[in-house]
A and B are shown apart, each in its own frame.
Chain A
Amino acid sequence: MNIIVCIKQVPGTNKVEVDPVTGVLKREKVDSKMNPYDLYALETALRLKEAHGGVVKVISMGPPQAKEVLKEAFSMGADDGVLISDRAFGGSDVLSTSYTLSQGIKKLDGFDLILCGKQTTDGDTAQVGPELSEFLKIPSVSNVTKLIEVTNENITVEMDMQNTVEIAKINFPCLLCVDKDIFQPRLPSYLKKMATKNKEIRVLSLNDFEDKNTDNYGLNGSPTQVQRIFPPESNGDHELWAGDGKSVTTKLYDKIKELKFV
Chain B
Amino acid sequence: MPKLIVHQDKIKNIENLIKTCPFGAMDINGGKLEINSACKMCKLCVKKGDPGAVEYIEEKGVSVDKSKWNDICVYVDHVNGDIHPVTYELIGKAKELAGKIHQKVCCLFMGEDIAGKAEDLLYYGIDKVYLYESHRLKHFSIEPYTAVFEDFIKREKPCAILVGATTVGRQLAPRVAARFKTGLTADCTILDITEDTDLVQIRPAFGGNIMAQICTPRNRPQMATVRYKVMNPPKKNSSKSGTIVSCHIEDSKLESGIDVMNVYEKEKVKTIENAEVLVVAGRGVKSKDDLGMIQKLADLLGGEIACTRPLVECGWMDAKKQIGLSGRTVRPKLIITCGVSGSVQFASGMNNSEHIFAINNNPEAPIFKVASYGIVGDIYEVVPQLIEKIQKGREA
| B163, chain A: closest CB distance, angstroms | 11
| Binary contact readout A56-99 vs B (1 if CB under 8 angstroms, 0 otherwise) | 00000011000000000000000000000111111101110011
Distance of A32 from chain B, by nearest CB (Å)? 10
The count of chain A contact residues (Cβ–Cβ below 8 Å) is 106
Query: Is A259 in contact with B334, judged by CB distance below 8 angstroms?
Result: yes
* Cβ contact within 8 Å between A169 and B343: no
Q: A90-B36, A219-B3, A245-B385 are in contact. Are A124 and B265 (CB under 8 A)?
A: no
A124 close to B325 (CB less than 8 A): yes
**Is the Cβ of A171 less than 8 Å from the Cβ of B181?**
no
Chain B 65-90 interface mask (CB, 8 Å, partner A; 1/0): 00000000000000100000000000
Are A224 and B184 interface neighbours, CB within 8 A? yes
A121, B326: Cβ atoms closer than 8 Å: yes
Q: Is the CB of A15 within 8 A of B208?
A: yes
CA distance A141 to B140 in the complex (A): 10
Q: Which residues of chain B are within 8 angstroms of A139 by Cβ–Cβ distance?
A: 141-143, 256-258
Residue on A nearest B277 in the bound complex, by CB: A261
Interface: A25 (CB within 8 A): yes
- Alpha-carbon separation in the docked complex, A163 to B344 (Å): 27
- Determine if B31 is an interface residue (Cβ-Cβ < 8 Å): no
- Nearest-CB distance from A21 to chain B (Å)? 12
Q: How many residues of B contact A (CB 8 A)?
A: 111
Give chain B residues whose Cβ lies under 8 Å from the Cβ of A129. 171, 174
Cβ of A7 under 8 Å from chain B: no
A242 and B376 contact, CB distance less than 8 A: yes
A185 within 8 A of B: no
**Residue in A15, A91, A159, A256 whose beta carbon sits within 8 Å of that of B334 in the complex:** A256
Query: What is the bound-complex CA distance between A139 and B255, given in angstroms?
Result: 11
Question: Could you tell me the distance between the alpha carbons of A166 and B141 in the complex, rounded to whole angstroms?
Answer: 10
Contacts of A177 on B, CB cut-off 8 Å?
171
Q: Interface segment, A42-50, A103-111, A186-194, A225-233? A: A225-233
Whether B217 contacts A225 by the Cβ 8 Å rule is yes
| CB of B257, distance to nearest CB on chain A (Å) | 4
Which residue of B is nearest A172, CB measured? B257
Q: Which of B9-47 contact A (CB under 8 A)?
A: 20, 22-25, 35-42, 44, 47
Q: Does B381 contact A (CB under 8 A)?
A: yes
How distant is the Cα of A135 from the Cα of B180 in the complex, in angstroms?
11
Say yes or no for B204: interface residue by CB 8 A criterion: yes
Q: Tell whether, in the assembled complex, residue A223 and residue B182 are in contact, meaning their CB atoms are under 8 Å apart.
A: yes
Q: Verify A226–B170 contact, CB threshold 8 A.
A: no
Give Cα A141–Cα B36 distance, bound, in whole angstroms: 34
Instruction: List A contacts of B205 (CB < 8 A).
Output: 226, 229
Which residue among B179, B182, B210, B368 has the maximum number of chain A CB atoms within 10 Å of its CB?
Answer: B210
Q: Find the B residue at minimum CB distance from A85.
A: B37
Within 8 A of A (CB), among B164-197: 166-168, 170-175, 177-179, 181-187
Evaluate contact between B373 and A229: CB separation under 8 angstroms.
no
* Stretch in B117-125, B129-137, B386-394 touching the partner: B386-394
* Residues A163 and B265 in contact, CB atoms below 8 Å apart: yes
Q: Is the interface of A mostly helix, strand, loop or mixed?
A: mixed
In the complex with contacts A141-B142, A161-B168, A225-B215 CB distance below 8 A: yes
Within 8 A of B (CB), among A135-188: 135, 138-143, 156, 159-171, 174, 177, 180-181
Known: A134-B175, A169-B258. A161 touches B41 (CB 8 A): no
CA A238 to CA B366, docked complex, whole Å: 12
Please measure, in the bound complex, the distance between the C-alpha atom of A181 and the C-alpha atom of B173, giving whole angstroms: 25
A224 contacts B216, C-beta separation under 8 Å: yes
Query: Cβ of B209 and Cβ of A17 under 8 Å apart?
Result: yes
Complex-state Cα separation, A128 to B42, whole angstroms: 21
A149 to chain B, nearest CB (A): 10
Kindly provide the distance from the CB of B62 to the nearest chain A CB, expressed in whole angstroms: 9
Is B37 in contact with A90, judged by CB distance below 8 angstroms?
A: yes
Residue B8 at the chain A interface, CB threshold 8 Å: no
* Residue from A99, A123, A134, A165 whose CB has the most chain B CB atoms within 10 Å: A134
CB distance from B208 to the nearest CB of A (A): 3
With A223-B182, A223-B218 in contact, do A245 and B382 touch (Cβ < 8 Å)?
A: yes
Encode contact with A along B219-238: 1 for CB under 8 Å, 0 otherwise: 10000000000000000000
User: Across the interface, do A240 and B374 meet the contact criterion of CB distance under 8 Å?
Assistant: yes
B375 A248 Cβ-Cβ under 8 A: yes
- Could you say which residues of chain B place their CB within 8 Å of the CB of A250? 389
In-complex Cβ contact of A164 among B264, B301, B372, B386 (8 A) = B264
CA–CA, A90 to B351, complex, Å? 33
The contact of A24 among B44, B139, B355, B357, by CB within 8 Å, is: B44
Question: In the complex, what residues of A have CB within 8 A of residue B343's CB?
Answer: 14
19 residue pairs bridging A and B, Cβ less than 8 Å apart: A14-B345, A15-B209, A16-B209, A16-B210, A23-B48, A126-B170, A131-B178, A133-B142, A134-B179, A139-B257, A142-B171, A160-B167, A163-B266, A223-B181, A224-B215, A229-B213, A241-B376, A246-B385, A253-B386
Instruction: Point out residues on B near A: beta carbons under 8 Å.
Output: 1-3, 20, 22-25, 35-42, 44, 47-48, 61, 79, 139-143, 146, 166-168, 170-175, 177-179, 181-187, 200, 204-219, 256-266, 277, 300-301, 319, 325-326, 333-334, 343-345, 347, 351, 355-357, 359, 363, 368-378, 381-382, 385-386, 389-390, 393-394
A residues lining the B interface (CB < 8 Å):
10-11, 14-18, 22-27, 29, 62-63, 85-91, 93-95, 98-99, 119-131, 133-135, 138-143, 156, 159-171, 174, 177, 180-181, 215, 218-220, 222-232, 234-235, 237-243, 245-246, 248-253, 255-257, 259, 261-262
